[in-house]
Amino acid sequence: MSTRKLVSASFANLLIPISGLLVGPLLSRELGPTGRGLYAALTLPIVVCGWIGTYGLQDALSYHLRTGRLSTRAAAKVSLIASVPLGLLGIGLLAVLGLFVFPGGDDGHYGQFLLLSLLAPLHILANLLIGALTGASDIRGVNLVKVVPALLRTALVVFACLTLDLSAYWAGLLFVASVSGGLVLGLVRLHFSTERVESAGEETGDPPEPPDPGIPTRSLLAYSLTCLPGVLAAISTARLDQIIGLPVIGARELGFYAVAVSVAEIPMVIATAARTVLMGRPSSGDRRRASTVARLAVLGSIVASGVLAAIAGIAVPWVFGAAFAPAVLPTVILCAATTLYTSMVIFSAVLLANGRAAWSSGALVAGSVLGIVFLFLLAPMGAVGAAIASLVGYGVSVVAAGAMVRRVPELPSLRELTVPYREDLRSLGEVAIGFVGRFRKRATTEPGPSDPAGSGGDEAPPRRALGTLVRRIDVGTFGVGLLFVLAWLRLMVPLLIQLLDTGRPEFNSREDLVPPASDLVGDALSLAFILVAAVLAAHGGYRRRPGRLWSLAVVLAPFLAIEASGLLNHQRPGLVSLALPLAAVAIWLQPVRREVLGVIGVLGAVTATGSILLALVRPDLGLISGAAAGDKSALLGGLLAGPFLHSNVLGIALALSIPFVFCVARPPLRWGALAVMLFALFWTGSRSSQLAVAAVLGTYLLVRLFPTRTWLLSGVMASGVAAVVLVPLVTTDPEAFTRRGRIWRTLLDRWAEHPLLGHGPRYFQREPDLTVQLGGEFTHGHNVLVQFLVVGGLLTTVLVALLVLLTWRRSVALAGAGFPAAALFLVAFLYVSWLEASHVPTTLAGHATWLPLMVIALLGLPAGDAPPASTGQDRGGRSWAGAGWRNGTAGALQQRLAGRGSTQKTTVSRM
């Protein structure tokens, strides 16, 4: 159990440095080295005040809850009451500290610092809640208080960097205020929780002792004052160098050092997680078993720090920019210091948990004093000197704390706390396998009428594998998957032929460089798509009589409205205009399994891999640079565009594909594909697509943390809709959003000429005079609302909104049934669409948008009078086809869609 707690807490803690890595590069490029150093000087004192400002009460709460002297409700009450005087004292100390950090005050930074300091009590309260939850062994509660602010901070700062001219002060305000999200959850969890914590007696069969309902005020104060020197020393060792670094080593060197710390502190999450577990109530009376967490934490820290030190020379300049290359050496030194930090934290936690707070404080004070001395002595060395000072401080603390642990016979030995045993590694492997199983979520569906109990648990013999596979792949799912592949080939192959034949064309050029072979192959693939869709529709119409004709009408209506607008504007539709509507009919007529959406994820991974290989082999073809790349050309010699005309288009394709990577069955392929796609997306420099993927990953984490609260999904989607609708309507500055304001104003004025039906789908190609008014050769409106209003008018826009609403409803129902990939796609679509619109043409060029919307909107419909399909089961015992599947997960989904409560307990397959 302790090992599982360590892994769970480490995973949650890891989100904090991941947030730093996501936000750090954007802040570094937005603010520059000097602004990045100022941002650190504005925010770090407040964060550190949140730690120091508890004055040892955080550890005192943990100790008293651990020993049963305090209840969780009493701890919540103590935290709230104590945060008032402690917060006021913290604000006063920060005001004094600001006079030293920001001398002079002529530039207004001191006033900004004072304003941010008013939020310091929130950070103090957050740490008090963490201490209480730690003592109660409520690891999930601790994770929530830490993770929610990190996710909120990441979303706010990334959004601000991409859309606003962000200053160091406003970035600091977003950072400091984000802690409020975790406070609410922590207070609610403490106040309304029952005493459900674990104790040592649970394994021996003895009932745990009930906590004292009173508040031992004197004991809390005494233990807090005993812990206070250690708290001050630990904070000064970990962060004092950055607080006083501005006047000591200068803003530029502090910026380098802050970047090095943000990388090297990643393995510290393991130490923090181990401290959380060790400070809680022990789950075993066996001393060796109870110290398993400490041994595994030391091992994990050494491995993680070694990996980071090995790749720092490449990773730091690439992630943070070439200007931060001097931060490499401090990063390597701090990685070595992190291994010592882990042992220091573990020894200190063992002493604190066993009533030796004074000894812990003495060891930490010794290392802190020596670290501060070395910081001033090595100040001429800048960031490197600060890193060496941290290394020395951690080393002294480890030696001193280790000596204190050895003096107490009843405590684990240093060997038991640092060197793993064979059973530790075995336990870690079992936990890792369990976590992989949780993410795969093998189905545990209760048997339905056609799914007898126990029939799915047997492995099929190898000689029957091929036959089982054939039975699983029904015509509808295979055919729709083939449509995905054909549409992808229709887009990619002509682009590659053109690229290899004529080279990379100039961006926004109207010159026709398409070779005849490219047109020929494109037409052939379009015809193949139409034929396959027609065959699927004919096959489905012959075998089925589906219901819910209105669902098909909602899907087809936008296409019909746009083509009607084209006809009224004298734009004759081509044969390719039939492709997507015919595909919609085929999907409506054929039973399609939701796992077919995984094909899109695989194709996205292939696109990312091929684009990276093209950039490595032929950078003149795979990358764009110069004026077309703008201010983002420093990324690895240019921006990754692959076969597409611009890197933003590749970014959109990847953003719309990433949600479906989670449908891939095998974890190595799933996570490997996700890593490749994220790397390629970063290389594209497409900030709008990166924001969309950040929203997708954040939503995925919300789904994992709160699997039953699907209203959170609707909240994220509603935010995307608000951005799509409001941003172009309220923007008046023509230079806003990289001159998109000018495009929106011009196109909305043109839409006013034909408000009901618009100008038709080929308006941009037939109106060359738009170039001057839009400021470039743009072929779309850079916002889907503007795009649909211009090409299809108000009628098309309303019909598209109805389709999105239907997809919204279906995706939330699917998420409730355990398949959130559909909802993740809608999040990606909405967050991409507020600044882009090149992904919504109604030809096969828009297949990455329309085909998933069709499948999601029509997924889970009743089977009508279709003949029963053959049943087949996967290794987890699911019935994939026919009545078994419909009575299982599909049945639960249909009941959710119909608004009825499901009496059948169902969990999901691969999400």
Among 123-127, 461-465, 537-541, where is mean pLDDT lowest? Answer: 461-465
Average of per-residue pLDDT values in the chain: 77
What is the model's pLDDT at position 802? 94
Residue 825, pLDDT above cutoff 70: yes
State the pLDDT at residue 632. Answer: 54
* Reported confidence tier of residue 652, pLDDT bands at 50, 70, 90: very high
Give pLDDT tens digits for 172-203: 888 888 888 788 888 888 776 654 444 434 44
| Cβ-based neighbours of 59, under 8 Å, separated by 6 or more | 131, 223, 224, 227, 230, 231, 279, 352, 357
Mean pLDDT in residue range 689-698: 90
Going by pLDDT thresholds of 50, 70 and 90, the confidence category of residue 887 is very low
Write down the pLDDT at residue 203.
Answer: 41
Place 549 in a pLDDT band, splitting at 50, 70 and 90: confident
> For the residues 861-876, what does the mean pLDDT come to?
38
Q: pLDDT tens, 234-244?
A: 666 655 566 56
* Predicted confidence (pLDDT) at residue 647 exceeds the cutoff of 70: yes
User: Which pLDDT does position 545 carry in this prediction?
Assistant: 59
Distance from C-alpha of 234 to C-alpha of 367, rounded to nearest angstrom: 9
Tokens 């959710």, residue located: 896
Q: What percent of the chain has pLDDT over 70?
A: 77
Q: How confident is the model at residue 906 (pLDDT cuts 50, 70, 90)?
A: very low
* Contact criterion met (CB below 8 Å) for 168 and 39: yes
- The answer on pLDDT for 908 being more than 50 is no
Mean pLDDT calculated for residue range 276-301? 71
User: Which range, 104-118, 456-470, 765-779, is most confident?
Assistant: 104-118
Lowest mean pLDDT among 301-310, 627-636, 681-690, 831-840: 627-636
Per-residue pLDDT at 779 exceeds 70: yes
Q: What is the pLDDT of residues 466-475, one digit of tens each?
A: 444 445 557 7
The answer to whether 620 touches 504, Cβ cutoff 8 Å, is yes
Token output for 887: 């009575």
Q: Which of 597-611, 612-626, 788-802, 820-834 has the lowest mean pLDDT?
A: 612-626
Partners of residue 639 on adjacent β-strands: 624
- A 10 A CB-CB count for 628 gives 17
- Model pLDDT, residue 574: 80
Given a cut of 50, whether residue 886 has pLDDT beyond it is no
Residue 21, pLDDT score: 62
Q: Which pLDDT band, with edges at 50, 70 and 90, does 730 fall under?
A: confident
Say whether pLDDT at 866 is over 70: no
Q: What is the pLDDT of residue 205?
A: 44
Return all residues near 186 (Cβ < 8 A) that are at least 6 apart. Answer: 126, 129, 130, 133, 141, 144, 145
* Distance from C-alpha of 814 to C-alpha of 822, rounded to nearest angstrom: 7
366-402 pLDDT, tens digit per residue, is 887 888 788 888 888 888 888 888 888 888 888 888 8
Q: Please write the tens of the pLDDT for every residue from 49-77.
A: 887 888 888 888 888 887 778 888 888 88
Overall average pLDDT of the 446-474 stretch: 43
Mean pLDDT to the nearest integer, 358-366: 81
pLDDT digits (tens, 9 = 90+) for 586-620: 998 887 888 889 999 999 999 999 999 888 888 88
Does the pLDDT at position 829 exceed 90?
Answer: yes
pLDDT in the model for residue 674: 92
Tell me what pLDDT residue 213 has.
55
The span from the CA of 511 to the CA of 259, in Å, is 45
| Res 242: pLDDT | 62
End-to-end CA distance of the chain: 24
DSSP 8-state assignment for residue 662: G
Q: Is the pLDDT confidence value at 707 over 50?
A: yes
Residue type (1 letter), 432: A
Please state, for a pLDDT cut of 90, what percent of the chain lies above it: 14
| Longest CA span, the chain | 92
